[in-house]
Chains A and B, each alone.
Chain A
Amino acid sequence: MGETILEMQHIAKAFSGVYALKDAQLTLQKGRVMALVGENGAGKSTLMRILTGIYDHDGGTILYKGQPVHFKNAMQARDAGIAIIHQEFNLFPNLTVAENIFLGDKSVQSHGLVDWQAMNRRAQELVDSIGGTFSVEEKVQELSVQNQQVVEIVKALAANAEVLIMDEPTSALPESEVQHLFRTIRGLKARGVAIVYVSHRLNEIFEICDDITVLRDGVTAFLSEVGATTQQEVVAQMIGKEVTVLYPKQDAEIGGVVFEARHLSDGDTVKDLSFCVHKGEILGLYGLVGSGATECPEALFGLVRGAHGTFLMDGREISLHSPAQAVANRIAYVPPDRHRQGIIRQLSIRFNLTLAVVRRLCTRSVIRRKDEQATVDDYIRKLRVKCAGDSQKVTFLSGGNQQKVVIAKWLATNPALLILNDPTRGVDVGAKAEIYSLISELACAGMAIVITSSEISEILGMSDRILVLNEGVVSREFLRGQADQKSLLSAALMRPDETQGGV
């Protein structure tokens, strides 16, 4: 252990004159997990693409097992033992696990035909060896996401990978399955595999990684053993300046009830949920996958057919059967899946930003272009959206700025209730901090806000009040400062009838 297997030194790469990497360094050792972190655009993916042979580098050297190497394509890198597992899995859902693992592998063939028995046996051995508990004769589409990830890992092992790159490996996993992945990673370490762990999630990095490399603007800005640094320091190194408060939650004046939901049910996950949100209050909803925490906002916004309940806005009863009705009742919803639900990436910032409000900017159906421009300028400035101009296509913005456009779209509708469903997913640290302070400002200005998140710390850091959901009902309520990660998680894991329950 501890033997250096790969060294990337002074790697530089430019795309049509713009540097993506200037002086990047990465050293991997057998049996150790290296975290690779950096803001979006820092050069992480470019560096990984160079390592896996997809891009050619312009400068610097790569030493692999002591020899200088220069991979010309992805095939060469893979044959040399460097494998990558992408966020989106690269599996054939309608083939079996074993078929996926040995696809195109000549070693399981005899006389040009596949030796099914040998293939299944070897596949099962590999799956068992890293603690998989499923049969390799199952079709991949029948496996859970976490087991599909195991298949990806086994695929890499079958190809004798000695360096394994995992790109945001937990982003697709429910929180409860993260530990399962970590066990697998520890197993890989014991085999001497060197792992690159690319992630935004610092908590996980501090739990599973041995070393950390921070990339900033194409340069390796910071190198350390994980045990010798802190999350604060890593964040500071990522954005290049010291951040004192990651969650800049200010105390807002909390007023009367703005919105109330009684007996909300979506006919599936959400069973019987009653709660209210006050003026100026940030209400956090927390729960594990399947608890209803992420489903509840969908139902409130009229997205779930068959959802029912009684809803009051400013004391007046309203119905919420469609997003259009929700918007008409001054409810705004920032959805979790930005690309499918939040933005239209092929269209301009202006188009996206005014989509929900454009009808109100019309006289006799004709858009008042001056008013539209004023709205767009206003929100680009207020939210500090970094862009080349409002006609720039949203696809060219960073994740954080795309998310700002989505939030701006909703603020333009002047909502009374803002629902944020995992608002910082896939957003880099710098933009995260900006989004948090924006949310806090909005609450101070009297908006009622509901927030859900896949990160416990976000809920803890931002909420005035937290409702913990379990099996579709509220299992516990915490006020700000009453809860910590442990109490929140244990409340989320406990069955509702074991706690005092209720609102």
Chain B
Amino acid sequence: MVQQSSSHAKMLCVLKSRYTLLIGIIALEFLLFGFLAPYFLTLGNILNILRQISEIGMISIPLTFLLLSGHMDLSVGSIVGVCGITCGMLLRAGQPVVLAILAGIAAGAVVGFINGVIVGKLKIQAVVVTIGTQVMFRGLCYIMTSGRAVSGYPLSFYVLGGGDILGLPISVLVLGLCYVGAWFVLERTYFGRYILAIGNNQNTTRYSGIRVDRVKILLFTFCGIMTAVASIFLISRLSSAEATLGSGYELDIITAALIGGIDINGGSGKLQGTFLGILIIGILRNGLNLMGLSVIYQSIILGVLLLVAVAKRKG
């Protein structure tokens, strides 16, 4: 929406350089793991990577919206837990699959709404609020599960996380649709304008007659809903829900968004960038797993990647 004619060329240039870098990193990953890790370059593994990133991919959409509006949600990992466990417990109790899914999504909407109201109405910084709710919701997970894994779902439920349509995993198709829809919302609707406006100058936005607090509540609620959807795919894929379900997701997603060029201060960045960031992280984790490298080393490499990408932004 900011591009055209004169600034178009300049913008394109900037975008180009960042996207070239991101795609370059992905190519490098393919090259490296292709040589080092057996089975990496098989169709099965590629689909596996896509399936693995589909959940954080779904959450990365509302989180990108929040980041663009100058906000942050550090509680998404815990929301994955709460929603996944809610859905899993209902399934184990023999409730219909549709009901269990809807209940999980409703739980996401409620906790997202809570975040939104605290940030929007009580005007407390989103980072602080969601650190609080992160801990709170995680505690809830332990209470709900009493520390034991929730498993034993009806067979039909596993279709979500494991099923294919035309050879593509369902979760990947859903992710793709969500991304297209989200891009449309950002670029073509008034709501996308409001997000960018708030991220760049909240005060002017309010002075323009826009209900900034409502937009915030909506964004956090949307984040809860999308996170719930992701959690349902996740428990279907893992066929169980533990109290630690989804923990640490928020950092992977925020890292992906930052690598993808979303400004941590809000107001600038593109959804495409987040998507590439998610791909980079997903491929990296998968490749390192195949090489048998422990998760601890993975996080060191991720951290370095993040710093390089953000340094590139400054440069």
For the complex, give the distance between the alpha carbons of A366 and B192 in Å. Answer: 10
Q: Which residues from B are CB-within-8-Å of A362?
A: 189-190
Whether A351 touches B6, Cβ cut-off 8 Å, given contacts A323-B209, A343-B204, is no
Residues of A within 8 A of B201 (CB): 340, 343-346
Q: Kindly state whether residue B284 has any CB partner on chain A within 8 Å.
A: no
Closest to A298 in B: B207
Q: Is the CB of B2 within 8 A of A347?
A: yes
Contact partner of A323 (CB less than 8 A), chosen from B6, B206, B267, B268, is B206
CA distance A359 to B194 in the complex (A): 10
Contact assessment for B190 and A409 in the assembled complex, using a CB-CB cutoff below 8 Å: no
Judged by a CB distance under 8 angstroms, whether A356 is at the interface is yes
Contact A348 B2, beta carbon cutoff 8 Å = yes
Encode A228-242 as 1/0 by CB contact (under 8 A) with B: 000000000000000
- Which residue in A345, A348, A365 is a CB contact (below 8 Å) of B191? A365
Complex contact B2–A367 (CB within 8 A): no
Are B2 and A340 in contact, CB atoms less than 8 angstroms apart?
no
A269 close to B (CB within 8 Å): no
A327 touching B189 in the complex, CB below 8 Å, given contacts A351-B2, A391-B5: no
Complex formed: what's the CA distance from A326 to B8 in Å? 36
Contact status B6-A391, CB under 8 Å: yes
Q: Which residues of chain B are near A392, meaning CB under 8 Å?
A: 6-7
Closest to B209 in A: A327
Q: State the Cβ distance, A245 to closest chain B Cβ, in Å.
A: 32
Residue A38 CB within 8 A of the other chain: no
Decide: A389 near B5, CB < 8 A? Known: A351-B196, A355-B193: yes
Task: Tell me the chain A residues, 277-327 only, with Cβ under 8 Å from chain B.
Answer: 301, 303, 322-324, 326-327
A330 to B137: give the CA distance in the assembly, Å.
44
The answer to whether B197 has its CB under 8 Å from any CB of chain A is: yes
Instruction: Point out which of A340, A341, A354 has the most chain B C-beta atoms below 10 A from its C-beta.
Output: A341
Q: Does A192 lie at the interface of the complex (its beta carbon under 8 Å from any beta carbon of B)? A: no
At the interface, yes or no: A101 with Cβ under 8 Å from chain B?
no
Q: Which of A303, A345, A347, A366 has the most CB of B within 10 A?
A: A347
The answer to whether A347 touches B197, judged by C-beta atoms less than 8 angstroms apart, is yes
With A and B bound together, what is the CA distance between A413 and B207 in angstroms? 14
* Chain A, residue nearest B3 (CB): A391
Chain B, range 244-270, C-beta contacts under 8 Å to A:
267-268
Find chain B residues with CB under 8 A from A367 CB: 188-190, 193
Contact yes or no, A355 B210, CB < 8 A: yes
A344 B200 Cβ-Cβ under 8 A? yes
B303 to A: closest C-beta gap in Å: 29
Q: Does B211 contact A (CB under 8 A)?
A: yes
Q: In chain A, residues 331-367, which have Cβ atoms closer than 8 Å to a Cβ of chain B?
A: 333, 335, 340-348, 350-351, 354-356, 358-359, 361-362, 365-367
B294 CB within 8 Å of chain A: no
Docked complex Cα distance between A389 and B5 (Å): 8
- Flag if A335 contacts B6 (CB, 8 Å): no
Chain A positions within 8 Å of B209 at CB level: 323-324, 326-328, 356, 413
B125 sits at the interface (CB 8 A): no
Other-chain contact of B1, A327, A344, A348 (Cβ < 8 Å): A348
From the candidates A327, A356, A389, name the one contacting B6 in the complex (CB within 8 A).
A389
Is B208 close to A, CB under 8 A? yes
By the criterion CB–CB under 8 Å, are A323 and B196 in contact? no
List the B residue with the shortest CB-CB distance to A410: B208
Query: Considering residues A326, A351, A391, which has the most beta carbons from chain B within 10 angstroms of its beta carbon?
Result: A391
Is B268 in contact with A346, judged by CB distance below 8 angstroms? Answer: yes
| Cβ–Cβ contact B2 & A333, under 8 A | no
Contact in complex: B267, A324 (CB < 8 Å): no
Known A324-B210, A326-B209, A355-B205; judge A347-B196 contact (CB<8 A).
yes
B4 at the interface (CB under 8 A from A): yes
B203 at interface (Cβ–Cβ under 8 A)?
yes
A122 within 8 Å of B (CB atoms): no
- A113 in the interface (beta carbon within 8 A): no
- Residue A18 CB within 8 A of the other chain: no
Decide yes or no whether A388 CB sits under 8 A from chain B: yes
Q: Check B190 against A341 for contact (C-beta < 8 Å).
A: no
Q: Is the CB of A351 within 8 A of B193?
A: yes
Q: Are B189 and A366 in contact, with the CB atoms below 8 A?
A: yes
Contact residues of B between 1 and 46, Cβ < 8 Å to A: 1-8
State how many angstroms separate the Cβ of A395 from the closest Cβ of chain B: 11
> Which residue on chain B has the smallest CB distance to residue A343?
B204
> For the complex, what is the distance from the CA of A389 to the CA of B209, rounded to whole Å?
26
- Closest chain-B Cβ to A348's Cβ sits at a distance in Å of 5
A335-B207 CB under 8 A given contacts A344-B201, A391-B2: yes
Chain A to chain B: the 7 pairs with minimum beta-carbon distance, closest first: A327-B209, A391-B4, A344-B201, A356-B208, A341-B207, A323-B209, A358-B190
Using CB atoms and an 8 Å cutoff, list the residues of chain B in contact with chain A: 1-8, 188-191, 193, 196-197, 200-201, 203-211, 267-268
